[in-house]
């Protein structure tokens, strides 16, 4: 177990924009025995991102935040073109959280033009997509994988690239994106990637809505409707606390809450916490995972039953 590190960098925050430069920086930092902590994000930072940064800050010498809206993890009809941005606000938050390096590459740098300039997916010759769990089940095809084909392949590929560039000792991911966290765990195990992965708890607004950059898409009335996801989680928690061990009953009760205020449900599933396969009989650890639409905004949330 590495010892926690409380050393804070005295240097001002630096912005690095090219893969070569961050890699050179990382090699130099490692040569000086610096522990590198890494938080990958798509920007438009909120308190959820900050909680990852603050946790990372306590355990590393050099804290790297990446801000990159990764095109390969968005489907053709998704919100890549309108994904929210707030560069100045992000820098302020990063400084407050003690970030040393903001890595802010562009798509040309991350996916260099070679013989195939467009679309960007065609520039990737090597994808990370071997994310099988135990042969019959496959993390890629559970939960969001059914509704966002190619999404986790894009996530795993960009995270693998970022790891090679930033060379972190430890990387921090939110449990908010629970399936993403499991995919990264699986990738790191399967490929023997020498990066320790830490999951961090979901940060919620005062009324329970899970913080998300996409919450900015919600109108005031839609924001109120979005609360039904948290209400579903609370309903499931109450049932389980009261001794219910029937997955069907638990998911049905949660489903009723979500149905009451959303426009479309992708899934409300109680699943194995590691393989994400749906449960027919109760077991722990498990996760109740939800994805639903309010208008054109897709929201996800979950709760872990340890
Ligand atoms: P994103 O910028 O949405 O790609 O998120 C970057 C990282 O922040 C991911 O590891 C997310 O899981 C994490 N994250 C986003 N929202 C939250 C939240 N409400 N609580 C904890 N972590 C979060």
Q: Give the DSSP H or E segment for 39.
A: strand 36-41
Query: What's the chain look like in SS3?
Result: CCCCCCCCCCCCCEEECCHHHHHHHHHHHHHCCCCEEEEEECCCCCHHHHHHHHHHHCCCCEEEEEECCCHHHCCCCCCHHHCCCCHHHHHHHHHHCCCCEEECCCHHHHCCCCCCCCCHHHHCCCCCCCCECCCCCEHHHCCHHHHCCCHHHHHHHHHHHHHHHHCCCEEEEEHHHHHHHHHHHHHHHHCCCCCEEEEECCCECCCCCECCHHHHHCCHHHHHHHCHHHHHHHHHHHHHHCCCCCHHHHHHHHHHHHHHHCCEEEEEEEEECCCCCECCCCCCCEEEEEEEEECCEEEEEEEEEC
pLDDT at 140: 82
CA of 20 to the centre of ligand 1 (A): 26
pLDDT at 131: 59
Question: Which atom of ligand 1 is the closest one to the Cα of 180?
Answer: 12
Domains and CATH numbers, the chain: 14-200 (3.40.50.620), 213-300 (3.30.1300.10)
pLDDT (tens, 9 = 90+) of the chain, 306 residues, equals: 444 444 455 569 999 999 999 999 999 999 999 999 999 999 999 999 999 999 999 999 999 999 999 999 999 999 999 999 999 999 999 999 999 999 999 999 999 876 666 677 777 778 887 555 555 468 888 999 999 999 999 999 999 999 999 999 999 999 999 999 999 999 999 999 999 999 999 999 999 999 999 999 999 999 999 999 999 999 999 999 999 999 999 999 999 999 999 999 999 999 999 999 999 999 999 999 999 999 999 999 999 999
Ligand 1 atom 14: residue of nearest CA: 174
Q: What is the DSSP letter of 192?
A: T
pTM of the model: 0.94
Catalytic residue among 46, 49, 151, 169: 49
32: CB partners within 8 A, 6+ apart: none
CA of 253 to the centre of ligand 1 (A): 27
CA of 48 to the centre of ligand 1 (A): 6
Annotation marks residue 49 as catalytic? yes
Which of 69, 102, 176, 195 to mutate to test ligand 1, by most ligand atoms within 8 A of the CB atom? 176
Which of 177, 205, 289 to mutate to test ligand 1, by most ligand atoms within 8 A of the CB atom? 177
pLDDT at 121: 74
- Cα–Cα distance measured from residue 64 to residue 104, given in angstroms and rounded to the nearest whole number: 10
């Amino acid at each position: 177990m590495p010892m926690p590190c409380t050393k804070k960098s005295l240097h001002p925050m630096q912005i690095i924009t090219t893969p070569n430069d961050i890699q050179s920086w990382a090699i130099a930092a490692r040569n000086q025995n610096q522990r590198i902590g890494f938080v990958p994000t798509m920007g438009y930072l909120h308190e959820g991102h900050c909680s990852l940064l603050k946790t990372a800050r306590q355990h590393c010498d050099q804290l790297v935040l990446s801000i990159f809206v990764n095109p390969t993890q968005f489907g053709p009809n998704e919100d890549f073109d309108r994904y929210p941005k707030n560069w100045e606000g992000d820098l302020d938050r990063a400084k407050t959280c003690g970030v040393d390096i903001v890595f802010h590459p562009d798509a040309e740098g991350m996916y260099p033009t070679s013989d195939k300039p467009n679309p960007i997916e065609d520039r990737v010759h090597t994808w990370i997509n071997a994310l099988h769990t135990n042969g019959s089940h496959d993390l890629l095809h559970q939960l969001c994988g059914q509704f966002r084909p190619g999404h986790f392949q894009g996530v795993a590929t960009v995270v693998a690239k970022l790891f090679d560039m930033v060379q972190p000792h430890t990387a921090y991911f939110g449990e908010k994106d629970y399936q993403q966290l499991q995919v990264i765990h699986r990738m790191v195990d399967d490929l023997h990637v020498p990066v320790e992965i830490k999951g961090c708890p979901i940060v919620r607004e005062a009324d329970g809505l899970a913080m998300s950059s996409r919450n900015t898409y919600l109108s005031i009335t839609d924001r109120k409707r979005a609360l039904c996801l948290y209400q579903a989680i609370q309903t499931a928690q109450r049932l389980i606390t009261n001794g219910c061990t029937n997955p069907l009953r638990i998911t049905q009760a949660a489903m009723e809450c979500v149905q009451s205020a959303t426009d479309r449900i992708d899934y409300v599933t109680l699943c194995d916490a590691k393989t994400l396969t749906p449960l027919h009989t109760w077991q722990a650890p498990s996760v109740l995972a939800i994805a639903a639409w309010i208008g054109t905004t897709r929201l996800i949330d979950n709760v872990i039953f340890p």
